[in-house]
Every structure is written in C-alpha cells, then in structure tokens.
Amino acid sequence: MDKTIKPQEKATILIVNDEPIILKLIGDVLAKEGHEIYTADRGDNALKIINDVSIDILVTDIKMPEMDGVQFINEAKKIAPEILVIVITGFPEIDSAINLLKINVYDYIVKPMDPDDVMASVNRAWDRQRQNYENKQLIQDLKSANDLLQQREGRFRSLTENTSDWIWELDVNGVFTYSNPKAYDILGYRQEVIIGKTPFDFMSADEAQRVAGFFRETAQSGKPFSFFENTNVHKDGRHIIIETSGVPFLDKDGNLLGYRGVNRNITDRKQAEIERKQLNERLRESRESRESFQAIVNKNPGGIIIVNKKGIIKFVNPAAELLFRKKADELIGSMFGLPLANGDNEKMELDIITENGKTGTADMRVLETTWLGEPAYLATLFDVTAIKEAEENLIKTNEELINIAQMKTEFISIASHELRTPLTSIKNAVDILLYKKAGELNAKQEQFTAMAAHNIDRLVILLNDLLDTAKLDAGKVKLEFAELDPGYIFQKAVDTFKPQAEAKSQTLEIDYDSLNNIPTIYADYAKIQQVMNNLISNALKFTQEGGKVILSARAISDFGFQSANLKQGEKDSAIRNPQSAIEISVTDNGSGLSMDDQKMIFDKFYQAGHTLDQKSKGSGLGLNISRGLVKAHGGKLLVESEPGKGCRFFFTLPGFSPEDIEMSVLEIEISKLANHPPFSLLCLNLKGIGPLSKHAKGLKIHRQFLAQLKDVAAGVIRQDSDRIIMQKHFGRLIIILPGTAKAGAMIVRNKLKTAFYENPVFFDEQAGQVFSISMPVTFPEDGQIVKKLLKKLQTYQE
Amino acid sequence: MNKQRVLIVDDEPDIVESIKFNLELEDIECLEAYDGEEALLKAKTQNPDLILLDIMLPKMNGYKVARLLSFDETYKNIPIIMLTARTQEKDVLLGEATGAKEYISKPFDMNMLVALVKEYLSKGK
C-alpha cells in the first residue's frame, strides 16, 4: 500500500524490544531528538502498529519472544517496504547477522549498546530515509511530468498527424525541418522528401522567386503572416493553390530560429470561386440580356402582340396598349378578333383609333412563333396613319409637280409658237425688201434692211436655242438612234462652214487618219450634227484670222458611260456591256480659255469674254444645249484649254448598236439560266429577209411578220418559263427552253415545224416558208459559254 | 399653158401675203385659205398643184386636212408642204405620217421655200 510519502523534519520511529527498560531508554533518547516514538514489546503488536501508522524507521531487537526476528523484519517489510530497519543484536547472534544483511537491514547495533550510538544510527538512518523519500518524490514527480508530457505529445501528435492541413516548420533559410504527413495528400511528396527541401523547390520558377522573396522579407521583419496564397506544383504536375499562415519562433535570446505554420489546399475553393464568379457572370449576362430584350420590347414604338393559335391574346407591349387604347390586363386573355393566318410576314392593314379619336391605319405583320413553348402568332403593328397621310400628300404634290412640268412644257411650246408666228411675218417682209423683190433700195436703205434681217436671224436662233434648252431641261429630247459615220458628219460640217472659214482665211480640216480605226457609233444624226455645228461655229468665231480648226475622232475604251436616253431594258444592258465608244474633238489654235471661262462656259447664257466678232455673238446657250444633247446620248462634252494655246472641245459617244443591245439582252437572259442546267435554245431565222435595218420601207410589215411568227411559236411552247426573244435587227427569233435537254428541245422543234405548216405566215405576200428553224443547242452539252452557244446556234441552220 | 397654182393655207394673213408676194414673182398663181374647212373646200374645188399647209388652223387643223385629202383618190397626189411653228418631234412624225412631202418650220428661209415649191411643181408636170 502506497502511503503518502511526506518529507518531514522528524521521523516516526517504532522501537521493538521485549525489555521495557531498553524501550524506555531508547525511546527517551530519540524523543529528545524530536522524533515521534512508538513502542512495542512483541512482534505481532509491532506489526499492527506498522500497519496502522506510517513508520519511517524500525529499531528492533533481533530476539523476539514469540517469533523469529528475521521473520518479523520480513513481515514488517512486506507491510512497509520503505521502512528502514536498525537491528539490535548480541554478539552471539553474529551468525544470524549475516542473515540480517540478506534482509537488507540498514544498521545494527551490538549489545551492550550505547544510547549515543543508537541515536547516531537513527539519525543516519533518518537522513537516509529522508533522502529516500526525496528521491522517491522526485522520481514520482518526474514520472508525472513525463506522463503529462507523453499525454500532451500524444494529443499533439494525433492532432498534427490527422489534421487536414499541412503543418510545417521552416528554419531561417526556409528549409523544412518538419512536415506532417498531409504534405503527401496535398503535393504528393512524403514527409521524408519534404524535409530538407524548401517550399520554393515545389514551385514554378517565377512563383519560387516571388515566394522566396516574400519569405525573405517576412523573416527579416520577424512577423507572423497569414493567408498568403501561393501556387505549388504537385508531383504529378498539377498546380495546387495553397494558403499559408505562419508564426515565427525564437531562441531564448530572441533570435529568429524559423517559422511554423499551416498550409491549406485551397485549389478546390479557388476553383469553386472561379466557377461561382462565372456562374454569376452568366446569370448577370442572362439577366441583362433578358432586361435588354424586355427593354426592347417595352420601348418598341411598334406594338407587339402575341396571340395563341386559338386567337387569345397572350402578351401585349406598351405600344400595343396605346394602339388599341386598352390596358394590358384588359387585352390579355381576350380574343384578338382579327384574321392572322394569312401566311408568313404578310402585311395587313388595320383600322385603329388614334390619340385624338380619329380613325387611322396601322400596318400589321404576322409571323409564326412559339410562346412559352406553344405555337403562337407574333404580330407587329405600326401606326402608319401619319405615313399614309404623308404618302397621299406626296402623291398629290408629285401629281402637281408633273402637272406643272407639263404646263411648263406646254407653255414653252405655245409661247414658242406664238413668238414664231409674228417673227415669220417680220422675216418674210424684211427679206422681200432686202432681196429687192419690192423694188430697188438705196445704199442706206439696204444697209438698215440688212441690219434688220441680221437681227431677225439672231432672234430666230435665240428662240430655237431657248426651245432646245427647255426640252433638254424637261428631259423631253427623244433620240432617233441610227448608225452614224463620223466622217460623214465631219464632211457635212466642213461643207457648211467652209465659206465662213474662208472669209477669215481660216483652215477647217478633217484628220482622216484618226477616222481609220474607230467603231461604228449609234446616235441621233440631227442632234450630233447640231453639236458639231455649234462647236465648229464657236471655234471659228474664237480663232483669229488664218487660224486652224481640226476635226478628229478616236476610239476609247472607258468613257464613263452615263445613263442614256434609252428604254429601261436597253439601258441596263448597255450599261452592263459598254462596248466601244468614240471621242470626237474639235481643236482650234485660237486664244484659248481661262480657267474661269472653262468652268462656266457650259452655263446658260455665259459668253466667254472676248468674242472676236461682235456681230456674231450667239445666244450663249449653244454649249449648254450641246452638252445636254451629248448627255442625252450617254456621253460627256468637255473642254481642254490653256490661254494662248487654243481649245479642244471633245465629246464621247457610246458605240453600242441595237444589235449589241439585243445581244446583251439575250446574253443576260441566258446567263441567268446557267445556274439551272440543262437548257436549250432554238433559232427561227428569217432567211432571205434579214435584219430590220434593210427594210426601212416595210418597217411595219417586217415587225408584223415577226410578231406573227412569235404568236405561232408561243402557241407551241409549253411552259411559262419558256421565252421567245425577238431580235429584229438580226431578223430572227430566239426561243429559250429552260430545264429542257436535247431530246425535249427536238420535240419542241418538230412541234414548231408542224405549227408553221398548219399556220403559214407570209411576209409581204410572199408565199412559202421564208424562215428556218435551227437544230437545238443545249447547255452544258454543246458548250458552257453563252457566246459560244449562240455561235453554234448560227451554224445549226438547216 | 396653164399657170401653176398653189394653195397657201395659214391663219396669219401677213404670212399668207408675204408668201404670195414671193410666189407671184415666180409667175405662180396663188390661192388662199385661212382655216381648215376653207382649205379643204378650196383644195377640192380649185385644183391646186401644190398646197402650203400650216398646222395650227382654226376649225380643222392641218393634219386632218392632209389626212382627209390623202384618203381621196382624186386629191391624194397633190404635194403638200407643211409649215408650222410647232417643232416637237411627234409633230414631225405625224406630219410625215399624213403623207406630206416636206415639213418646214417657221420662220423659214423664203428663198428656200420658193425653190422647194418650184421643185415639186416641176415634178408634178
């Protein structure tokens, strides 16, 4: 039994002896020392006492009345193993002293004993015992401390080993001196690998640099840090984001020994953050998008209505509310009441009541759509009341303008007529006088009559010019296109102006070389002659005596074709296929024109400053008219000049011919079909009759004939898509059969032959067939280029 | 030998007179008419060898006169020279379509007109 071991000042001593005198003697001596004394005269009593009391020292005689001394000591030691025994023994019992040594007696005293010896022995024993006790206490304390330490270490270990965080310790150089096993879970490296390396060894180069720098700074400051994020590389190459916190630890002098801390794997958290941000972003975008669309729908000035297939209104936007003058909750759920199923996006008109209670119109377009998963109609409405009004006004205004233009033309026409009539009489009267048909005239009479005659001529020119200008302005110049030979025009002009030129010793000549390689042009002969006359007249007027005027022409390729005064279809094809063109020039070596003059010379009534001949001053409209006439042909009239170096007036004329136009139209038609093969062509050639131009006389008959042919042919060909193109100038009909291959085309050909046999068409009462039907030409079989196909058609004549 | 006879039709007396003056110098007999109806009547009754015909006439315009004459076998061969102040292209075409030989716009060169008249008269012989 573990009695409480207490370090005391005085011992508790048990003296055992069967002689009471000795008991007393020893007792007194020891009591004087201050010890606590117990006595017993028998072994069993002594044992009892030892049992009850905590005895430090046992002083006992070896001889006991009722038991063996050794046995007694053994028993005592059993009860109190710590007890120190001093034995009193007589000489003769020395042998048994050896036994006593065996039982570990502290000391023995031989009788007769000296009480001082007893006292000394007890004191020694007590010192010894006290030491024992102290040692024991120390050991026990140590044991407790150790136990506590173990306990704590156990607690600590189970925490660090089992935590989900990576716990580490670094020295001042950043080398791992401790790492818990969690490093393996986080980075894939075992503790043994970690320890001895630095954290930077597990990072990419850039990151290592950054983090090492951070550690250096922190270590210098000796401060703790928390939640420092850094990216490490897992053994398998993955990037792991770690959140690190650490605190410094110091030695007893306050020097930094290193840092200890915790690493937490926040890769997932970071990922989750990113994903959360993305999700939020997407939600936000989706919401914004939805809001934007809502805004569009709500702010749309046009009414938007959704009606389901049963005709019930499901949705209206604010604009629609306005149009129907009802609120959304009134409209939604009610019948729309108007037909909607008229096909996709067809436009319909609705009558509505506008703000001020008047009736108006709205445009409605209906589309099929879905609404909340079900098929429905989307109707967009737009209040077009104002637009319609404006349209009607515009039409009215337009009509008025046309009226005014018409009136203007009529006015000019009437005015010019009214002016001409008296002018004619004046001229006639003056001419009678001037030509002396009413008698002789003296010199003065003749002079002044001549003056009158001259001015009448001027007036006539002015009148004609004014009328021309008005017609050009009104776009009412109709051109009669015909084949034109520039050489012929030049010659006529020279003939006209030769006398005038000779009067001033001027040379008016034609550059014949320039006429060699120019294409045929098509223009209105009278108008072009007018232009030439105007230019030549100007040239002669503005050139000095003995000067020179040259007429020349040249072919040009790009002449910037403007819109010509042609029928619509012809115009388009001409633009698409600008053939050749020519440029006609009237060049003089007169005084030239200044830049200012050049700019304004084509303006109405503008006269260049230095008319050489006051008498021959014109109306100032000539060039304006010439420019307008050239423009009507689709060309341009321009001037090139330097003061002192003469002038060159030049104009362009397009080189297309009616044949060209007809061919272009045909080519365009055929080109359209190239995307939908196959197709075939047949040609009805008017043999012996030839092109239209050779039949000026029988124009009408020729046209009638072709028209009749076309009628018969139309009766034969089957489909709406088949086309018959009349080429008057080639004297033929081209039949286009889309989607038809050679065999089909042959059938059509045979049908045509039969039809013409049954319905003969005569040209100018000539009996017999005057035309032939070619063999069919098929695309792509007979060729892939339109021009080649047409050429083949020519050769496929019977 | 019968003198050549020309019917001058114009609603302007001055013009008629000045033409008449010039033609008579050429020894050509002149008849006058001042409106379409009169023109038609005189053309049918007076046997002119040539008609100078203005278009803008009261009662019946020159086109109609010319057309009516062209339908009549007896008169369709009388050469007609149309004179007019109207210079629209369509007028020209119309004029040609009615069978007129020439179409002269006013004011004209009298010498040229006289020469033209003489030419057609000599053709007719």
> How confident is the model over B76-89, as pLDDT tens digits?
889 999 987 766 65
| Per-residue confidence band for A294, with pLDDT thresholds at 50, 70 and 90 | confident
Residue of B nearest to A467 (CA): B87
Chain A neighbors of B97, CB-CB under 8 A? none
| Per-residue confidence band for A679, with pLDDT thresholds at 50, 70 and 90 | confident
What is the residue-wise DSSP string for A241-278? Answer: EEEEEEEEEE-TTS-EEEEEEEEEE-HHHHHHHHHHHH
* pLDDT value at residue A101: 67
Question: Higher pLDDT residue, A698 or B121?
Answer: B121
Q: Three-state SS for A480?
A: coil
Displacement of CA A230 from its chain's centroid (Å):
37
Task: List C-alpha distances in Å: A600 to A18, A394, A590, A593, A597.
Answer: 168, 35, 18, 10, 5
Chain A neighbors of B105, CB-CB under 8 A? 420
Given a cut of 70, whether residue A83 has pLDDT beyond it is yes
| Per-residue confidence band for A343, with pLDDT thresholds at 50, 70 and 90 | low
Are residues B14 and A425, on separate chains, in Cβ contact within 8 Å? yes
| Per-residue confidence band for A506, with pLDDT thresholds at 50, 70 and 90 | very high
C-alpha angle with apex A31: A27 to A37, nearest 5 degrees?
60
Measured distance CA(A219)–CA(A247) in Å, rounded: 10
What is the residue-wise DSSP string for A42-95? Answer: SHHHHHHHHHHS--SEEEEES--SSS-HHHHHHHHHHH-TT-EEEEEE-GGGHH
Of B89, B106, B111, the CB nearest to A421: B106
The count of other CB atoms within 10 Å of the CB of residue A70 is 17
Given a cut of 90, whether residue B15 has pLDDT beyond it is yes
Question: Nearest CA to B61 among B88, B91, B32?
Answer: B91
* pLDDT value at residue A566: 42
| Per-residue confidence band for A752, with pLDDT thresholds at 50, 70 and 90 | confident
Count CA atoms within 13 Å of residue A726 on its CB side: 14
Residue A614, burial from CB neighbour count under 10 angstroms (0-12, 13-18, 19+)? exposed
User: What is residue A403's DSSP assignment?
Assistant: H
* pLDDT value at residue A529: 92
Give A420 to chain B, closest Cα distance, Å.
6
Tokens of A767: 């009996």
Displacement of CA B124 from its chain's centroid (Å):
15
Measured distance CA(A166)–CA(A154) in Å, rounded: 18
Question: Nearest CA to B2 among B32, B36, B46, B41?
Answer: B46
Measured distance CA(A685)–CA(A797) in Å, rounded: 8
pLDDT in tens, B25-57: 999 999 999 999 999 999 999 989 999 999 889
- What are the helix (H) ranges across B72-107? 89-97
> With the C-alpha atoms ordered A118, A124, A127, A133, is the resulting torsion angle positive or negative?
negative
Measured distance CA(A11)–CA(B4) in Å, rounded: 195
| Cβ-count burial A82-113 (b if 16+ within 10 Å, e if not) | ebbbbbbbeeebeebbeebeeeebbbbbeeeb
Given a cut of 50, whether residue A404 has pLDDT beyond it is yes
Where do we find the tokens 């001949």? A613
pLDDT in tens, A186-242: 899 998 888 999 999 999 999 999 999 999 898 888 889 999 999 999 999 899 999
Average pLDDT over residues A773-792: 82
* pLDDT value at residue A62: 79
| Per-residue confidence band for B9, with pLDDT thresholds at 50, 70 and 90 | very high
* 8 A C-beta contact, residue A527 and residue A653: no
C-alpha angle with apex A412: A411 to A417, nearest 5 degrees?
100
What is the residue-wise DSSP string for A309-331? Answer: TTSBEEEE-HHHHHHHTS-HHHH
pLDDT in tens, A429-447: 999 999 999 999 999 999 9
Give B120 to chain A, closest Cα distance, Å.
21
Measured distance CA(A535)–CA(A648) in Å, rounded: 10
Average pLDDT, chain A: 82
List residues of chain A with CB under 8 Å from any CB of chain B. 413, 416-418, 420-425, 427-429, 431-432, 435, 437-438, 456, 460, 464, 467, 478, 480
Residue of A nearest to B55 (CA): A417
Structure ipTM: 0.87
Chain A neighbors of B86, CB-CB under 8 A? 413, 417
Give B40 to chain A, closest Cα distance, Å.
22
pLDDT in tens, A307-341: 888 888 899 899 888 888 888 888 888 888 777 66
